[in-house]
Structure 1
Amino acid sequence: MRRRSFLALSAAALAAPAWSATGARFVTAASRPDNSTWLVGLSDSAEVLFQIPIPARGHAAATHPHQAQAVAFARRPGRFAVILDCLTGRETARLTAPEGRHFYGHGAFTADGRYLLTTENDYDGPDGRIGIWDVTAGYTRIDEVPSGGIGPHEIRRLPDGGFAVANGGIQTHPDYQRAKLNLPTMQPNLTYFDPQGQITEQAAPPADLHQNSIRHIDVDRAGRVVMALQWQGDPRQPVPLAASHRRGEELRFHPHPDTAKLRQYGGSVAVAGDGSEFAVTGPKGDHILYFRGADAVPAGGDALPQASGVAQMGDGLAITRTGGLTLRQNGRMVDHATGDNWTWDNHLVPI
């Protein structure tokens, strides 16, 4: 199966089951004070239930729709991905990006679970690519397609079996580490693929916000995409760091009274399980913003030290922050401590 139909045989998005043998509810990347880097399995009370050493910083993970597997990715410009057995909390294999490519820290499975899609950089192009890996053939790399822009970051499966890809617009090259090479001309966009792998729609910021990088996204039950943005322009210019999009409409930006507290950097975004709100974290600003689910009206915020990953949990949200995990439901916050000195990366992924 190649690019004309790489996404899924079935357009039905399957709900991911809970693989609870280890008791872990989430996987996240983390580091320790000695600069060692890890993948960590957390319970819903912030207990560390497994920890897997990795050669460099990790970022996010993708969970298989109906097998007890997850694939965790290196942070850009890393070239490794770790396959996890969610029943045992152990590493079973690793993937390596092909020559001339590196991962952007995210991936997603097709609805039938047969293929893994990975966001990648063709850094000598430069061009964004979506790598295609055949899970049934032991995660064999079989093809790739253009992502629709430069700097593809997070990819999410849609309710109809297609995908949304956040093309951040920032050109990078591993020879220059994490240097951003095209900020004056960057052009981020949100690109939609149908279940046959064809680009069907793109949405981009207006010219005066072309430096508002679209990096992290989530999708609600109706297929609306919500976004956490990272401003690459004049640091003195106030800009919204949250946006949303419905297919067939214009991109909508969502100012918030506390946006400045994020210090121009939205770290992660998630829709609450009951759809009542979505949240954007600000790890650089020790803050998290909330927006009403129905209409994205600002709904307050909280000071949370190094608020990093946010993920759906039950009807509410779970948030990683310094020292542990905070659970939020109906405006009520409950803190749980890990008891260890971990620093979390930007993402928290349910398993």
Structure 2
Amino acid sequence: MVTRRRMLAGLAAASLLPSAGWSSVGTPDYLSAARAPNGSYLLAGLTATGEITFTIPLPARGHAAAAHPVRAEAVAFARRPGTFALVMDCRDGTVLKTLTAPEGRHFYGHGAFSADGSTLFTSENDYEAGEGIIGLWDVTQNYTRIGEFSSGGIGPHDIKLLPDGQSLVVANGGIETHPDMGRSKLNIPVMQPNLSYISLAGGVLEQVELTASLHKNSIRHLAVRQDGTVAFAMQWQGSKSEAPPLLGLHQRGETPHLLSAPEAAHRAMQGYAGSVAFGGEGMLVAITSPRGNQTQVFWIDRRELLVSQTLEDVCGISTAPTGFFLTTGTGLVGRFRANKRQHPLQWDNHLIAITSQA
């Protein structure tokens, strides 16, 4: 039995083992986009002790990145409604390829590689049709665009490869947008978010929707546990007086479980979960809120809050063997409930773990 005291101690002590496949660039454990003091943008590699191992310039604000499972190579995505994604050799900062969303499309800031690294999947918006698309890029042919299929909904944001290596899970946020309208949300009264499981060939295997009363709860970000459990973080688009759950757990073939902290702590999240991650050897799940300056950690089996922490502009979160690693818009980097390094950077929303052992 893991006690509360032992678990809290583990949160402060956690770190990730280095990934040998990335040793040529200082063995980073994470990737994150950031903004420099001069207003320029970059992608950085971070170790589990908060050290920066490399930085690569970006032409505009980044959002998330995808780490190649074998090579020290990453794809950095523009923030919605951006149309660029840069394939970068992280050893020397060389831009190997600039991916441009097809005409009539934009990226949503996320992507995922196949298990062998041969294919890149990107979440995209066909904004004239108002439909979500998953783009396919052949990595072995210099990231040539080779196809696409439906995301199973509107506004696909985050996308993850499932542990079976044969399917994807997509967070269809349900929000229709158009680049001519900037970041405006065009269909809030009728939005219908869903969680879609899709084969790598493009067939929808399963879809999960929330109850009608929660149709304004946009499913945005994902984390996947080794047993295939999916955690999804949500952002409420309804009245500020309402405070629906912002965290869900799902396994295929089952009903989703929604989790919330006690009311006062839950309302401190201000209806916005920015990132989500598993931790504590898969026994914990956590969400962050940069609006509320909150990180909340939940026991999965008990489906209850374990601990919360107030930290200004916290958003990036990723897994560690027994805990979590965080970044903030104020430049802090470090383990949950432990001392953190300060960098002269504004870390963006997401912290991507490099999990390759190659």
Range moving further from structure 2, 87-96 or 122-131: 87-96
1:316 aligns with 2:319: no
Question: Does structure 1 conserve the Cα–Cα contact (< 8 Å) formed by 2:48 and 2:334?
Answer: no
The structural deviation recorded for 1:262 is 1.4
Please list every run of 5 or more consecutive structure 1 residues that lacks an aligned counterpart in the other structure.
1-15
Q: SS state of the match for residue 248, structure 1?
A: coil
1:134 aligns with 2:138: yes
1:150 to 150, 154, 157: 154
The answer for the alignment partner of 1:220 in structure 2 is 225
Question: Does structure 2 conserve the Cα–Cα contact (< 8 Å) formed by 1:308 and 1:346?
Answer: yes
Q: Whose RCO is larger (CA < 8 A, sep 6+)? A: 2
Question: Does structure 2 conserve the Cα–Cα contact (< 8 Å) formed by 1:29 and 1:38?
Answer: yes
Question: Does structure 2 conserve the Cα–Cα contact (< 8 Å) formed by 1:324 and 1:335?
Answer: no
The answer for the alignment partner of 1:202 in structure 2 is 207
Deviations 1:178-215 (A, max 9, x none): 00000000000000013443111000110000000000
Following the alignment from structure 1 to structure 2, what is the Cα–Cα distance between the partners of residues 175 and 236? 31
- 1:83 partner letter: V
2:284 to 277, 280, 284: 277
1:252 to 257, 264, 269: 257
The structural deviation recorded for 1:51 is 2.2
The structural deviation recorded for 1:247 is 0.8
TM-score with structure 1 setting the length: 0.90
1:101 aligns with 2:105: yes
The structural deviation recorded for 1:273 is 5.6
The answer for the alignment partner of 1:70 in structure 2 is 74
Q: SS state of the match for residue 234, structure 2?
A: strand
CA RMSD of aligned residues (A): 1.6
The answer for the alignment partner of 1:3 in structure 2 is none
1:171 aligns with 2:179: no
The answer for the alignment partner of 1:19 in structure 2 is 22
Range moving further from structure 2, 42-51 or 59-68: 42-51
Alignment of 1:187-198 (within 5 A): 187-198=192-203
TM-score with structure 2 setting the length: 0.88
The structural deviation recorded for 1:305 is 1.2
Following the alignment from structure 1 to structure 2, what is the Cα–Cα distance between the partners of residues 125 and 147? 13
Task: Call closer, same or farther: CA 1:296–1:70 in 2, change over 3 Å.
Answer: farther
The answer for the alignment partner of 1:7 in structure 2 is none
The structural deviation recorded for 1:113 is 1.6
Question: Does structure 1 conserve the Cα–Cα contact (< 8 Å) formed by 2:21 and 2:70?
Answer: no
Task: Call closer, same or farther: CA 1:41–1:289 in 2, change over 3 Å.
Answer: same
Question: Does structure 2 conserve the Cα–Cα contact (< 8 Å) formed by 1:59 and 1:73?
Answer: yes
The answer for the alignment partner of 2:304 in structure 1 is 297
Following the alignment from structure 1 to structure 2, what is the Cα–Cα distance between the partners of residues 25 and 18? 11
Following the alignment from structure 1 to structure 2, what is the Cα–Cα distance between the partners of residues 89 and 52? 5
- 1:61 partner letter: A
The structural deviation recorded for 1:295 is 4.2
Residue-pair matches, total: 331
Range moving further from structure 2, 306-315 or 110-119: 306-315
Range moving further from structure 2, 256-265 or 120-129: 256-265
- 1:95 partner letter: L
The answer for the alignment partner of 1:29 in structure 2 is 33
1:264 to 268, 271, 275: 271
Please list every run of 5 or more consecutive structure 2 residues that lacks an aligned counterpart in the other structure.
1-18
- Percent same amino acid at aligned positions? 48
Range moving further from structure 2, 206-215 or 314-323: 314-323
The answer for the alignment partner of 2:187 in structure 1 is 182
1:307 aligns with 2:334: no
- 2:324 partner letter: L
Task: Call closer, same or farther: CA 1:247–1:339 in 2, change over 3 Å.
Answer: closer
- 2:160 partner letter: R
